[in-house]
Amino acid sequence: MDGNILVTPGELTKNAAEFTSAGNNMYQIANNMLQTAQSLSGIWSGEAANTYMNNFKRFQGSFDKLKRIIDKHSEALTELANLYQQAEQQNVEAASDFRNVLE
């Protein structure tokens, strides 16, 4: 079935929402982890603690980047759903126009 579109706009929109939700959950978990790591500062100090926190903050940057990528993917799925919906509407209108020509 090469070339056939087997997905519906609704399925694309649903998947976009699932990606957004998963991205938000991941981001919240990452923030919770950072807060937990920062809470160690009250009981752990020194060079090892500083190195640990600096590394963890770098990981936070990676989480931020991943969140942006997930958001972009979700936006792309939503845009595809909109494009498919518009194309289908245009096809319905063209078919209706064709029917009117035959009558």
Give per-residue pLDDT as tens, 26-55. Answer: 999 999 998 998 899 889 999 999 999 998
How far is 52 from 65, CA to CA, in rounded Å? 20
- Residue 3 backbone dihedrals phi, psi, to 5 degrees: 85, -5
* Domains identified in the chain and CATH numbers: 9-102 (1.10.287.1060)
Q: What's the pLDDT tens digit per position in 75-91? A: 999 999 999 999 988 98
Q: What's the pLDDT tens digit per position in 2-21? A: 677 788 999 999 999 999 99
Is this prediction's pTM over 0.85?
Answer: no
